[in-house]
Structure 1
């Protein structure tokens, strides 16, 4: 008869060995760029097989409040996009919008919704970049669009990146930034919206796209009404050392206690997404205006809220002439921070009238529902600096 220790040790080893083996297989596959990008972007995980994204009414929009259309990138990809009218504007044109057919537009410039956007010299536009996985209307994304368009006069423009939803191609850092610049170029040069009437906003992966896109235009001297990053991260190698997919699936965090091994695996990451460095460059390039807002939920289970601290530090230090070590910067930030009794806070940096950097830690909202919070809507309003007469 086998010893008692063997009777329980073998099943225990088998039960532990299976998940460990799966994890190691995942890590090894992740070293291959093809699989790594599928793991990172999760762009094939969507609900297109039961959701018709050409029918936005499913998500509670009015008939033809949303116009689905396509955009072409300079490298030949086709991006799927939504233009969403604000309800107040929709109401003024409800008759003709209700009578028009609903379908994917072959030429959005021939639609009533496009005319409404282009012909309004006061139109304000929020360009929204979503996170990884899913499609343009998956999870909380439609609700986040409602949060903006149902209560304001702001239009929303959003896309599925290459490889996501019904957009063609395969995702990469360079490709997604190209997609973002394509939609901003379209807004400025086809729809005729001046950048002073555009807020660029991203959530999660979308914050990295936003920083890449805004840096691109900053180098051309283009400055937007506002830049809003919700649940952002500093760079991908650093994030993956703490990140937990779906809040509980570790990536590289098991190797944090062995720094050489962690650095070894970080070396295989092909898309770095160095948002902290890009934010610093955006601040340095700002000439006449920058309204940068960072929002993170304290209870975010996927991207730790301290990642926004890193982003804020990188952006804020670019406004300071002197070099500050970590301790000195902490003191400097505390002097510009209003801390609440629940541990949340608002930090604010202002340099005259041209640069305003605001970091807000909110208590609830997790990783995704934070998009639906009032601080996000307020950040958009603050970016446009609406007074009471404009917002009525």
Structure 2
């Protein structure tokens, strides 16, 4: 007969065991595709119950500076989008734009906002792909739109993927890339913006979406003004080994000491998001001009900034030849300018055609970095069609 545990000790063991049991239960659910996609995309976690994204003025935009509208995907889903006009352009046409019907627009192509985008031969467009969770206006996302449009001449087109916000459907890798392609097709074929005047901007999960859609077009010979990836990751399985939900709860990190078990878990990941391979493929198929910018905050507690090293390695190897890790690290160091202990810029240029740039910034965390100067500067460099401002 065992010795009974003291009630306080018993309670302490329960307190210690409960988080572990909860974590193990999450891992168990995570191998089921339905639950795994809910964990990964967190698309149902949003503030739609108490915020109206059809009224963008609630996030500080001028009346009708933002036009909410919808697009139909080839597989029958409806995705929700915002067109955000640059504020200086809005000021010039305020009387006409402000009198448009407010709210969700039934036919965006019949608006003054669309005309100002489509009829301007010098228009520059940023297509923004946000991270997981929430909707088009949740968290820091409106701040990033303000940073990009308040004083610039750039239009922004932001989208909620299928299953996010007011968009229909259920998110998955193939579907999100199709959503992105739907938006890009609309920009090129309806708004008539040439790819050379479009920058693809991705944040977190959106970096995988941007890489996926950029690869899709690269295989067709279509090249954009730039691809700007903020807080990116190389592939989902690798990223999860260091990822922390909300910056605190580890994903697969505790299993790092058991590589065999971690590899077993990786087999159950249904959406792979191999961004490193996709960037390499984009570089491989580039025949003209390519600008890839990787921006990450040193103090990003969600996705380690070292993920950018893997992306840079994959992209640059396509231009310098295959090097092993030690050779590549030595080569990279020779192309790096260190600005502090927590920041650096690495730039690799092949003539005037391909520029791959990685910047580590000391601050900005996982979300705020999107509205920080390095991101805006990366977009400005991308739109410099002669490449003179990319040093």
TM-score range, shorter chain: over 0.9
**Deviation at residue 4 of structure 1 after TM alignment:** 9.1
**Deviation at residue 7 of structure 1 after TM alignment:** 4.4
Correspondence for 1:44: 44
1:203-282 alignment to 2 at 5 Å?
Answer: 203-282=203-282
1:299-378 alignment to 2 at 5 Å?
Answer: 299-321=299-321, 323-378=322-377
Correspondence for 1:199: 199
1:1-392 alignment to 2 at 5 Å?
Answer: 6-321=6-321, 323-385=322-384
**Deviation at residue 220 of structure 1 after TM alignment:** 0.4
Contact 2:201 2:210 in 1 (8 A): yes
The 3-state SS of whatever aligns with 1:340 is: strand
Contact 2:225 2:385 in 1 (8 A): no
Contact 2:195 2:225 in 1 (8 A): yes
Contact 2:244 2:251 in 1 (8 A): yes
The 3-state SS of whatever aligns with 1:104 is: coil
**Deviation at residue 341 of structure 1 after TM alignment:** 2.7
**Deviation at residue 8 of structure 1 after TM alignment:** 4.2
Q: Equivalents in 2 of 1:125, 1:275: separation in Å? A: 23
Q: Equivalents in 2 of 1:121, 1:253: separation in Å? A: 49
Q: Equivalents in 1 of 2:279, 2:245: separation in Å? A: 25
Residues 84-136 of structure 1, C-alpha deviations (whole Å, 9 max, x = no match): 10011111110111222202111111111001100000000000000000000
The 3-state SS of whatever aligns with 1:23 is: helix
**Deviation at residue 12 of structure 1 after TM alignment:** 2.1
Q: Equivalents in 2 of 1:189, 1:25: separation in Å? A: 47
The 3-state SS of whatever aligns with 1:67 is: strand
Pick closer, same or farther for the CA change 1:386–1:353 going to 2, 3 Å: closer
* Matched residue count: 386
The 3-state SS of whatever aligns with 1:319 is: helix
The 3-state SS of whatever aligns with 1:318 is: helix
The unaligned stretches of length 5 or more in structure 1 are: none
Q: Equivalents in 2 of 1:386, 1:326: separation in Å? A: 33
Given the two structures, how large is their TM-score scaled by the length of structure 1? 0.96
The 3-state SS of whatever aligns with 2:326 is: helix
Residues 216-240 of structure 1, C-alpha deviations (whole Å, 9 max, x = no match): 0000000000100000000000111
Large movers: runs of 4+ above 3 Å: 2-9
Q: Equivalents in 1 of 2:5, 2:315: separation in Å? A: 57
The 3-state SS of whatever aligns with 2:313 is: helix
Q: Equivalents in 2 of 1:201, 1:267: separation in Å? A: 30
Residues 182-203 of structure 1, C-alpha deviations (whole Å, 9 max, x = no match): 0000000000000000000100
**Deviation at residue 3 of structure 1 after TM alignment:** 6.4
Deviates more, 1:255-264 or 1:118-127: 255-264
Q: Equivalents in 2 of 1:378, 1:242: separation in Å? A: 28
Q: Equivalents in 1 of 2:311, 2:39: separation in Å? A: 24
**Deviation at residue 6 of structure 1 after TM alignment:** 3.8
Residues 250-280 of structure 1, C-alpha deviations (whole Å, 9 max, x = no match): 1111111011111111111000000000000
The unaligned stretches of length 5 or more in structure 2 are: none
